[in-house]
Amino acid sequence: MNLARAVPLIAAALLLSRFAHADSPEHGRALAENWCSSCHAVSAGQPSSGRSAPSFTEIALSPDFSADHLAYLLLDPHPQMAKLALSRKAIDDIAAYILSLKK
């Protein structure tokens, strides 16, 4: 394969891999509904669980919220929070979903 044909193929592969690793709010919502909804209201219309856990909308509006902050909380959860074995990609997707709730 000559260089003129290889360069566009390499560029396309790099571009596709970048999008494959982009944060996915849709995947984050699915994860949140599965893992978080027993304590948190994860979507705008969901009723409160009756626990004192903040809704995801409240979390999104918190000025210090970020994917890194969420990762820290999940790696070292407070006593009332379940210890979850989520990958950093899953955490980033949940964070992307939470950030999508900002109005």
Q: How do residues 26-67 score in pLDDT, each as one tens digit? A: 999 999 999 898 889 998 778 766 677 889 999 999 999 988
Which of 1.10.620.20, 1.10.760.10, 3.30.499.10, 1.20.810.10 is the CATH number of 23-100?
Answer: 1.10.760.10
Where are the extended beta strands (E) located within the chain? none
Q: What single string gives the DSSP state of each residue in 52-73? A: SPPPHHHHHH-TT--HHHHHHH
DSSP state of 86: -
The model's pLDDT over 59-95, given as tens digits with 9 standing for 90+, comes to 999 999 988 988 888 877 777 777 788 888 999 999 9
Q: What is the pTM of this model?
A: 0.72
How far is residue 57 from each of residues 14, 18, 42, 47, 99, measured CA to CA in Å? 34, 28, 7, 12, 8
Q: Where are the domains of the chain?
A: 23-100
